[in-house]
Amino acid sequence: MRQLNVTIKLAWILAALFMMPQAAAAATAGPVEIVCIQCHAKLPGKYGEPVKLWQGSIHAENGIACNSCHGGDPKDAANAMSPARGFLGVPKEGAIPAFCGRCHVGVLKDYLTSLHGKALGRGGPTCVTCHGNHNVVKASLDLINEKSCSRCHSFKQAEKIKAAMHETEKMILTIETRTAGFKQQGIDTDRLEKGLFAVRNSFHSLFHTVDTVKVGAESARIQAELKKLENTLNGIDEQLRKRKLIGAGAVAAALLAALLFYLLRKTFERTEP
């Protein structure tokens, strides 16, 4: 009887373990369940295409779905695209920066005061000119390339901006790797990470000013901040090295003490009658 009970309990535990990953999968599958995707995935041409493009995007990865951008009701198929449920439709070219900028507030500000923002509607690029609309991926300096930028003007100024930013990007990556290494060793890296986060944020929105002078000056300021973080990292390295030396010293001293003790005992044993 007792054994049967144990067997039943074991079976329950096994069943629960088996169900766990499935429950987790159901929880993360959320956005796929919305009516926008259910219906649009079946539509042909330009009405179905956004679903496929969106699926591999950084927005899909972060739970930003159709209704996050276009509004509407993602749970009610009959009224999904009703303006009364907040449906915004498709933004016209001039409205795209504000449309994306609802969430990317800092970038929008830098963009609007830039030569690009000032040329909006008169040949200037919008957010989707550079990032795409549904297939937005993680941003990087690779977006600054001759093919994309020389659609409208020469690549010369762009190249200068890219070079200045590339240097800073390299420093950020090195510091990130070193910080992660210390974290793995159980060292408290909270303050370093916070510092890095702040620097990284102001760095990545900097591009949108497309102002060569400003990018130069800001890059210098950001690099000075990064140097400070680097000094902190060097300090930790130094401390670790000292601790290792002290550790090695302690081991040597213990060995020496053991040897002395052994020799003393030998001497003592010999003098025993």
Site for ligand HEC in 228-267 (CB under 6 A): none
Task: Kindly tell me which residue out of 7, 26, 28, 111 binds ligand HEC, with binding defined by CB under 6 A.
Answer: 111
Q: How far is the CB of 169 from ligand HEC (least distance, A)?
A: 7
Contact 206, 218 (CB under 8 A): yes
- Per CB under 6 A, does 39 bind ligand HEC? yes
- Per CB under 6 A, does 176 bind ligand HEC? no
Residues 121-150 that bind ligand HEC (CB under 6 A): 123-125, 127-131, 133-134, 136, 138-141, 143-144, 148-149
Residues 43-62 that bind ligand HEC (CB under 6 A): 43, 46-47, 50-51, 54, 58-59, 62
- Per CB under 6 A, does 64 bind ligand HEC? yes
| Residues in Cβ contact with 58 at an 8 Å cutoff, skipping those fewer than 6 apart | 136, 137, 138
Type of residue at 144: I
Rounded to an integer, what is the distance from CA 245 to the centroid of its chain?
37
Residue range at the interface with ligand HEC (CB under 6 A); choices 17-25, 100-108, 232-240, 253-261? 100-108
- Per CB under 6 A, does 225 bind ligand HEC? no
Residues 65-84 that bind ligand HEC (CB under 6 A): 65-70, 72-74, 77, 80-81
Q: Which residue do the tokens 């009959």 mark? A: 78
Taking alpha carbons only, the member of 228, 233, 222, 227 closest to residue 179 is: 233
Residue range at the interface with ligand HEC (CB under 6 A); choices 20-28, 104-112, 170-178, 239-247? 104-112
Contact 233, 182 (CB under 8 A): yes
Per the structure block, which two tokens stand in for 239?
């401390």
Q: Which is nearer to ligand HEC, 146 or 237 (CB)?
A: 146
Q: How far is the CB of 109 from ligand HEC (least distance, A)?
A: 9
- 233: number of CA atoms within 13 Å, CB side? 22
Taking the C-alpha atoms of residue 131 and residue 57, their distance in angstroms, rounded to an integer, is 11
- Per CB under 6 A, does 222 bind ligand HEC? no
DSSP 3-25: HHHHHHHHHHHHHHHHHHHHHHH
DSSP-assigned letter for residue 30: G
- Per CB under 6 A, does 95 bind ligand HEC? no
Q: Which is nearer to ligand HEC, 96 or 236 (CB)?
A: 96
Contact 37, 57 (CB under 8 A): no
Contact 88, 71 (CB under 8 A): yes
Contact 148, 141 (CB under 8 A): no
- Per CB under 6 A, does 199 bind ligand HEC? no
Q: How far is the CB of 17 from ligand HEC (least distance, A)?
A: 33
What string marks each residue from 148 to 167 as x (binds ligand HEC by CB under 6 A) or -?
Answer: xx-xxx---xx--x---x--
